[in-house]
Amino acid sequence: MSGLAIWAGPKLVEAASTTSSPISGLTERSLAFYNLHTGESLKTVYWQAGDYLRSSLADINRVLRDHRTGEKHDIDPRLLDLLCDLRLRLDTKESLQIISGYRSPKTNALLHSHSNGVAERSLHIDGKAVDIRVPGRSLSLLWKTALSIKGGGVGYYPASDFVHVDTGRVRRW
């Protein structure tokens, strides 16, 4: 009886968090970024054998910083898992090209005042959103594939040639 109770918990957690995600079978999770504004690139293993790697997360925070002000912010690890999942589903080893990662409140307010496409209370301010494109994969495929993960919000911006992905509520535009 007690044995059953001990084993039931972890199984349920496992089922809820990793069902149907291709990253569930990995022993390490990696990402590759190319920041179009700064020209910086980063290839890194950010998760290994159950743990997020602190120094890799710091490297990711740097490459995804607000390039206008230089400010950094912790990037949501769930967003990294979502991006890792996305690269696997797209079957690509290409770097994700970063149009926008973290935005300081000041930068977001500036962009909001110049564009209808920038929300006043953007998840970029919380390190929970990125705007990306992927070499060799069409924008519509990127959008549809991101939608299929159901990991948060996904926005399609063909005029600017990027897809927005965040870890907020599941929604689409």
Question: Which among 106, 109, 128, 134 has a CA at the least distance from the CA of 31?
Answer: 134
CB of 62 to Zn ion, least distance (A): 19
> Closest CB to Zn ion among 59 and 101?
101
Q: Which amino acid is at 167?
A: T
Q: Is 164 in the site for Zn ion (CB under 5 A)?
A: yes
Helix, strand or coil, per DSSP, at residue 120: coil
Candidate ranges 34-42, 65-73, 81-89, 122-130; the one touching Zn ion (CB under 5 A)? 122-130
Contact with Zn ion (CB under 5 A) among 131, 149, 152, 153 = 131
Written as six digits, the tokens of 149 are 């993960």
Site size toward Zn ion (CB under 5 A) is 3
Q: How far is CA 98 from CA 51, 66, 91, 156, in A?
A: 25, 11, 18, 15
Instruction: Check: CB of residue 106 under 8 Å from CB of residue 70.
Output: no
Name, in order, each residue with C-beta under 8 angstroms of 73's C-beta and a sequence gap of 6 or more.
61, 65, 66, 102, 104, 126, 127
Q: Is 73 in the site for Zn ion (CB under 5 A)?
A: no
- The H or E element that residue 30 is part of is strand 28-35
Q: Among all residues, whose Cβ is closest to Zn ion?
A: 164
Candidate ranges 9-17, 62-70, 75-83, 129-137; the one touching Zn ion (CB under 5 A)? 129-137
CB of 153 to Zn ion, least distance (A): 9
CB of 164 to Zn ion, least distance (A): 3
Residues 75-104 that bind Zn ion (CB under 5 A): none
Candidate ranges 19-27, 75-83, 105-113, 126-134; the one touching Zn ion (CB under 5 A)? 126-134
Distance from chain centroid for Cα 164:
9
> Closest CB to Zn ion among 47 and 67?
67
Footprint of Zn ion (CB under 5 A): 129, 131, 164
